[in-house]
Structure 1
Amino acid sequence: MSRQHVPAVLGLVAGALVAVPAPAAHAATVQVRCSVPDLVAAINAANSSPGPDTLRLARKCTYELTAPDPVNPGNGLPVIASEITIDGSGATIRRDGREDNVPKFRILFVGPTGNLTLTRTTISGGFATDCPAFPDPPGLACGGGISNTGTMKVTRSKFIGNTSQSDVFAQGGAIDSPGTGSVSETEVTANHVIYSGSATGGAAAGGAIANDGPLTVTRSRLTGNTATVTKDTQSTAFAAGIISFAETTVEDTVIRKNRSFAPGGFARAAVANGIPQPGRLTVTGGAVSDNTSDAPHGVAQGGGIANNGLMTVSRVEISGNRAVAKDGTARGGGVRVGPFGALDLIDSRITGNTVDAENGTAQGAGLDNPDGGTLTARRNKVLRNTATAKNGTAQGGGLYHAGGPEGLGTTTLEENTITRNRAGDGGGIFKASGLLTLNGDVIRNNQPNNCSPTGAVPGCTG
């Protein structure tokens, strides 16, 4: 889903002969006792006062929310409408989901005029069932922990056990940001995005984070998050870690043990961009490891990374990821390039990834470019990746390439090492069609062969 964030336009009115300066707005700091009513009152007061405000929470307090904000019941706390810093000092703001009679609501919503800095705070148990950032189509759900339509800066915080669930389209289990945002030194773990509808073609995207506006994520950890859809609805569960619908930068971040699950549908990667759009997803440093895309009798498209737009991946450890589809199709255990994708992959390690499709088709355990996309890979190590398909077809342990329906897909390799990969055929590279070129690459010690079919890849033998 693509959205456009429309900034407010401020007009300057001239005409006075003498300019009289307004009184200066001073920053205010408020100590908030360990009390939900006090926290609510502090946010309301900050919204009403000029200038920035800092709310210092009681150290290690748990603010237990048992009812939503009466004005905006999709949220637990009042909308952030001004410049507010919440310094948690190790405190937790949590929706009390232990009781069945507690309504479902997210924790925080940053409105279009809001500017929230959240630091040293744990956000837990939020449950989004609406999407204030995109209110017109009914049935959407966005941002179980925070939905941001203004400006958001999150540092040294934790998002644990938040959920976004919808019968139409759900995104951002922990964070949804169509505004301007940054997340740094933050743990985002065990959050969930769920499509619970029965109609064909629903979707759940961004188990940890969904981005629709410029966002930077640095030195953080996105672990153990999930994206799931209703069985046999041909729906899509994608980006259990992070989904990008706009310009997104991820730096020195660990994205690990996230799971996309779509029985009879489409399960797609831990890191992905959405429908083709001009914003680039850039991933630099860090690791994308031990993630799983599982689509029994469906299609698993990328275990670690799936690209169907503009993407650059540099100096990333892409290891131990799995694309699994029993009785279906599994593609791109490490990295998958879609039909509209253009991926630059540089100085990275693609190791120990697998595709497995018992009774089905498994292709491209390390790298997969099957549908007409563009892959440019330079100075990467593609090692010990495995494609298996008991009673099925397994091709391209290191790389699977096909030109797509029109044969226009291209893969350009330069100074890569592709070794010790395994498949039923094309242990190193399997080229079905399209254009694939080598330039100084080392392709050896793959099983049962380095490149297949014989002669399909000029410069590759054995």
Structure 2
Amino acid sequence: MNYFRLYSGSTYANDIRAPPEGALMRPSISRAIPLLMGVALAPFGVVTPSAVAQGTPPGPDLLGVSQSANAPAGPVAGAPSAEAGGTPHPPSRALVVNVPSCGENDLQSAIGAVAAVGGTVNLKPGCTYTLTDATPPNDDNGLPVITNTVTINGNGDTITRAATAANFRFFEIDGPHGNLTLNILTLSNGHASGGLGNGRGGAIWLAGPGSAVTLNSSGLTGNTADTFGGAIDNDNGAVSVNTSTLSGNRANAGGGVFVSPFGGSGTATFNASRITGNHATVLGGGIAAAVGTTVTVNVTPVTGNDVTSTNAQGGGIAQAGTMTLNASGVTGNTATGTNAQGGGLFNITGTVRITSSPVNGNTVNGTNSRGGGIFNTASGRVVLTSSQVTGNRALGTGAAGGGVFNASGTVTLTASRITGNQPDNCGSPSTVPGCS
């Protein structure tokens, strides 16, 4: 048990004993292990030209899109649900807690003091906080569940999970009031396990409408989720990432970030950040975004991410919602495996607007692979403005559309060129008006 000096407003109160973490937390929402990737929906696939042999369908539709229709599918099994008749949410007391050491217990107690009532935690500068176990009764969370407005000032600190520890993520942020801001802080080696919980969000899980997280000058590195969102899984909340980096994270879908509406309107905004070197085994090496979501990427390159599996989709990005890329290159991403689609970007039913953002040096590699730079299908729409698609490759027997492969949607070019891609720019014959 630890002591911290707290204050409310401008005056300090007496030193008080921080209460046990569990005393300030309501029971967390259901962590029932979902079906494969949390869904039991129609196969997530596309129709390739009839002359090309079809492979095995790529499993459940993780982005909420039916293979035969464009309407969103139902909510994911195990999705957060509204809690009726709960205890009224306590008002924020604007507490400030200064963590006196680099110790795990001091960190957990400090965050526990503000998690449910709101406030600010100032970490001791330059510390690496190594967590050895999840804090009871949080199951798969290494730190107390955030249910109010909390800011953690890192001052260059790192919070990491010990290599020998059981699997857990760091933060669960619960709606409707959970709102977490991280400043100058790195979260590394978190692991959201399907064995202990729902496997969502290797570092951070946003659970339900009203939940929000903001990263400022921070990093999420080397985190793993057994299902969605290697670094962040956003279920009907709001993510804001500013001058921050998501790198080396892993998941089945959304190696860096997975955004899902669960019947609402999940959002993610990236400003002057980097999404690099993340990995997925099904789709969306860097970002995966489902039907009904809105993702805005400003001055944030999506580089060096990959997906590796049969029917791999979206080495950099896989999306079915509404996405805008502004001055954000999609470069050097890879989708590898039989029927791989969209080395840089895979778009199904959604709309993607790409402005002043090159799509360069991406690769699909495998038998019948399509769309080294961009794969677009199922009434999806891609609008390229002042954006070049060059140096992308589709490799393997029967590969086509080195630059862009438009299976059944619309691709519009404005002051944009698709050139120098292998084995062709837009399929042979071209699948994109204005591209040869």
Structure 2's unaligned 5+ residue stretches are 1-37, 39-74
- SS of residue paired to 1:344: strand
Kept after mapping to 2: 8 A contact 1:163/1:173: yes
- Superposition map of 1:322-337 within 5 A: 322-325=334-337, 328-337=338-347
Corresponding residue for 1:412? Answer: 412
Q: 1:32 to 1:299 in 2, by over 3 A?
A: same
Query: Which residue does 1:292 correspond to in 2?
Result: 306
**Is contact 1:74-1:130 (8 Å) kept?**
no
The question of 1:126 aligning with 2:126 is answered no
In the alignment, the residues of structure 2 paired with residue 184 and residue 24 of structure 1 have an alpha-carbon distance, to the nearest angstrom, of 25
Instruction: Return closer, same or farther for 1:108/1:186 CA change in 2, 3 Å cut-off.
Output: same
Residues 381-460 of structure 1 correspond to what in structure 2 (within 5 A)? 381-389=388-396, 392-403=397-408, 409-423=409-423, 427-430=424-427, 436-438=432-434, 451=436
Q: Which residue of 1 aligns with 2:67?
A: none
Give, in angstroms, the shift of residue 329 of structure 1: 1.8
- 2:365 counterpart residue number: 356
Question: 1:144 and 2:151 equivalent?
Answer: no
Contact 1:171 1:205 (8 Å CA) reproduced? yes
Query: Displacement, 1:161?
Result: 2.8
Counterpart residue number, 1:231:
none
Name the residue aligned to 1:377: 384
Contact 1:65–1:93 (8 Å) recurs in 2: yes
**Superposition pairs for residues 219-258 of structure 1, below 5 Å?**
246-258=266-278
User: Among 164, 178, 185, which residue is 2:225 paired with?
Assistant: 164
What are the residue-to-residue correspondences of 1:260-275 with 2, within 5 Å?
260-261=280-281, 266-274=282-290
Whether contact under 8 Å (1:181, 1:213) holds in the other structure is no
SS at match of 1:54: strand
Residue by residue over 1:373-419, the C-alpha shift from the partner in whole angstroms, topping out at 9 and shown as x without a partner, is 33333332122223332xx223233332333xxxxx33333332222
| Aligned residue in 1 for 2:373 | 366
Q: Secondary structure at the match of 2:202?
A: coil
Q: Following TM superposition, by how much is the alpha carbon of 1:139 offset from its aligned partner in structure 2, in angstroms?
A: 6.0
Deviation per residue, 1:322-354 (Å, 9 max, x gap): 2322xx22333233332x233333332222223
- CA–CA distance in structure 2, aligned partners of residues 344 and 46 of structure 1: 40
Instruction: Please report how far the alpha carbon of residue 287 of structure 1 lies from its aligned counterpart in structure 2 after TM superposition.
Output: 1.7
Q: Which of 166, 189, 193 lines up with 1:103 in the alignment?
A: 166
Of 217, 233, 247, which residue of structure 2 is paired with 1:176?
A: 233
Is 1:46 aligned to 2:123, yes or no?
A: no
Q: In structure 2, do the counterparts of structure 1 residues 38 and 315 end up closer, same or farther at CA, with 3 Å as the change threshold?
A: closer
Task: Indicate if the aligned counterparts of 1:252 and 1:284 stay in contact, CA closer than 8 A.
Answer: yes
- Among the aligned pairs, what percent are the same residue? 32
Kept in 1: contact 2:301–2:329 (CA 8 A): yes
Q: Relative contact order: is structure 1 or structure 2 higher (C-alpha 8 Å, sep ≥ 6)?
A: 2
Q: What displacement does 1:24 show?
A: 10
| Matching of residue 32 in structure 1 with residue 96 in structure 2 | no
Q: 4+ residue runs of structure 1 moved beyond 6 angstroms? A: 7-10
Asked whether the equivalents of residues 219 and 246 of structure 2 are also in contact (C-alpha less than 8 Å), the reply is yes
**Greater fraction of residues in strand:** 1
**Which residue, 343, 347, 350 being the options, matches 2:356?**
347
1:143 offset after TM fit, Å?
2.0
- Give 1:177 deviation, angstroms: 3.1
- Closer/same/farther in 2, CA of residues 411 and 280 from structure 1, 3 Å limit: same
Match of 1:39, SS state, is helix
Three-state SS of the structure 1 residue aligned to 2:108 is: helix
Query: What corresponds to 2:313 in structure 1?
Result: 301
248, 271, 275: which is aligned to 1:190?
248
Larger radius of gyration: 1
Q: Which residue of 2 aligns with 1:455?
A: none
Which digits, 9 at most, give the CA deviation of each residue in 1:284-328, with x for residues without a partner?
333222333323xx2232332333332233332222222322xx2
**Other structure's SS at 1:301 match:** coil
- For the 8 Å contact 1:65–1:95, the answer to whether it is kept is yes
Q: Is the 8 A contact 1:366 1:385 kept in 2?
A: yes
In structure 2, distance between residues paired with 1:160 and 1:248: 18
2:360 aligned partner, one-letter code: T
For 1:421 and 1:40, how far apart are their aligned partners in 2? 52
CA distance in 2, matches of 1:24, 1:83: 7
TM-score (norm 2): 0.69
Deviation at residue 272 of structure 1 after TM alignment: 2.9
Which stretches in structure 1 are left out of the alignment for 5+ residues?
13-22, 132-137, 194-203, 215-243, 404-408, 444-450, 452-462
- 8 A Cα contact 2:254 2:284, kept in partner: no
Could you say which residue in structure 2 is the equivalent of 1:318?
A: 330
Amino acid at match of 1:286: T
d(CA) in 2 for partners of 1:334, 1:68 = 37
Against the structure 1 CA distance between its residues 159 and 282, is the aligned structure 2 distance closer, same or farther, given a 3 Å change threshold? closer
Quote the residue 2:72 is aligned against.
none
**Which residue does the alignment assign to 1:92?**
158
Q: Does 1:280 align with 2:341?
A: no
Three-state SS of the structure 1 residue aligned to 2:114 is helix
Q: d(CA) in 2 for partners of 1:370 and 1:176?
A: 25
Deviation at 1:371, TM superposition (A): 4.5
